[in-house]
Homo-oligomer: A and B are copies of this chain.
Amino acid sequence: MHQLIAELYPICRSITGDGFRQTMEILRRHIPLKIHEVPSGTRVFDWTVPKEWNIRDAYVKNAKGEKIVDFQKSNLHVLNYSIPIKMQVDLGNLKKHLFTLPDHPEWIPYRTSYYKEDWGFCLSHRQFLTLEEGKYEVIIDSTLENGFLTYGELFLGGEKEEEILISAHACHPSLANDNLSGISLATMLAKHLETVTRRFSYRFLFIPGTIGAIIWLCLNEASLSRIKNGLVITGVGDSGDITYKKSRRGDAEIDRAACHVLIQSARPGRILEFSPYGYDERQFCSPGFNLPIGRFSRTPYGEYPEYHTSADNLEFVYPEYLTDSYLKVRSIIDVLENNRVYLNQNQKCEPQLGKRGLYSSIGTNEIALLWVLNLSDGSHSLLDIAERSGFQFKAIKEAADMLLKACLLVEQ
């Protein structure tokens, strides 16, 4: 996963344009993404698809002709969605278009202006302080024209029509954790799920933040009832605790599955109640849809200073934390895939486990067997049983499998 992040890192992405397309092409080497192109000006609910933005180069030259700020060195140097500009300005006017982080003087901030036409440059505060009076040449060789907004989608059919939606925003330029980590995890997850038997269908979205989710919801409104569970995946490579933010419903199956996995982990992780600010769960969980979709991340965006700066780089994401995040998402999906309701076929008193070879000496497994038998009355799923018993879902699932083999359970 870290390798894929590294490959995607240099590309200048935005909510539209060739950087986004190039990103999708790289993902298509791993998974058969379908690419959608939505024309500028398309109305989607209360929003309008913006013009397409592309950029080739941008810099600021000082009076000596030295490029002191250079898009080629870091695409964060340009205010994302800057209109084309070519002018001479004095320092005073230039400063109105410069963005820095005084609290982190070595870092370049990441700034955007999608819906208000503007231009600007981002640079380290240390460098900003060295700028001398004088004339500066400013070049932004960009275009902002009618075109298309691009997004990628992958559908993997399963035994059931019901879908699990996995969504990652893919509109940020050279930012490794937010959200190349999420893109990479979702890609590897899709690659894995392609190869296995799936009870549910899966749909993966690689979309520009906000507008991408709004477009997708608008275009797919008629079939949203198929979405049974889902995750917005973002910021999964840093060293912080895993953090799950509940869906607006608060008690959806995805919420319970994610909480179970986090609580049962060696390093338990944090669980946040729903709030209407954040990533694309804002749209998925808007009241008109109220989809059962939560957010899976490590440290939440507001809580690490590297967020939306040049310090969210390849050193900020760690292979071991990417792997840990990936395995936790797999565990959550395992819960969803295996969460069934069984019926104990001997509900009056315990069945005699001994004569079926299921009762050696009383250890953990036997007690899991008893829990599954006792609660498999038609109103408890395996996740219900895991929650009530305190056992891991895995142990309850294994107990259910043994009882199924012994014909003591049938699926409801």
Interface residues, chain A, CB within 8 Å of chain B? 44-47, 115-116, 210, 213-214, 217-218, 221, 248, 275-277, 282-283, 285-290, 344, 346-352, 354-355, 362, 367, 370-371, 373-377, 389
Contact = CB atoms under 8 A, between A and B. Distances in A.
A355 B261 CA distance: 41
B275 A349 contact: no
Given A348-B45, A373-B276, A115 B354 contact: yes
Most chain B C-beta atoms within 10 Å of own C-beta, residue among A248, A349, A355? A349
A352 B288 contact: no
A403 to B, nearest CB: 13
Contacts of A352: 46-47, 115
B285 A346 contact: no
6 contacts: A277-B362, A277-B367, A286-B350, A287-B373, A288-B346, A288-B347
Contact of A287 (B248, B276, B376): B376
A214 B349 contact: yes
A374 B248 contact: yes
B349 A286 contact: yes
Contacts of A375: 276, 287
B389 A349 contact: no
Given A283-B349, A288-B347, A348-B288, A275 B389 contact: yes
Contacts of A373: 276, 286-287
A245 to B, nearest CB: 13
Nearest to A221: B348
A309 B282 CA distance: 59
A45 B349 contact: yes
A289 B221 contact: no
A116 B354 contact: yes
Given A354-B115, A367-B277, A371-B276, A346 B377 contact: no
A40 to B, nearest CB: 16
A42 to B, nearest CB: 14
B277 A346 contact: no
B276 A347 contact: no
B115 A348 contact: no
Nearest to A283: B349
Given A115-B352, A115-B354, A352-B115, A374 B344 contact: no
Contacts of A44: 349
Contacts of A210: 350
A286 B376 CA distance: 10
A43 to B, nearest CB: 11
Q: Taking each of A46, A248, A347, A371, which has the highest tally of chain B beta carbons within 10 Å of its own beta carbon? A: A46
Contacts of A221: 348
Nearest to A356: B46
Given A277-B367, A290-B377, 8 more contacts: A46-B351, A47-B352, A213-B349, A275-B367, A275-B389, A276-B373, A287-B344, A288-B346
Nearest to A367: B277
Given A275-B389, A374-B276, A283 B350 contact: yes
Given A115-B355, A217-B349, A287 B46 contact: no
Contacts of A248: 374
Contacts of A377: 287, 290
A47 B351 CA distance: 7
Nearest to A47: B352
Contacts of A349: 44-47, 213-214, 217-218, 283, 286, 288-289
B283 A374 contact: no
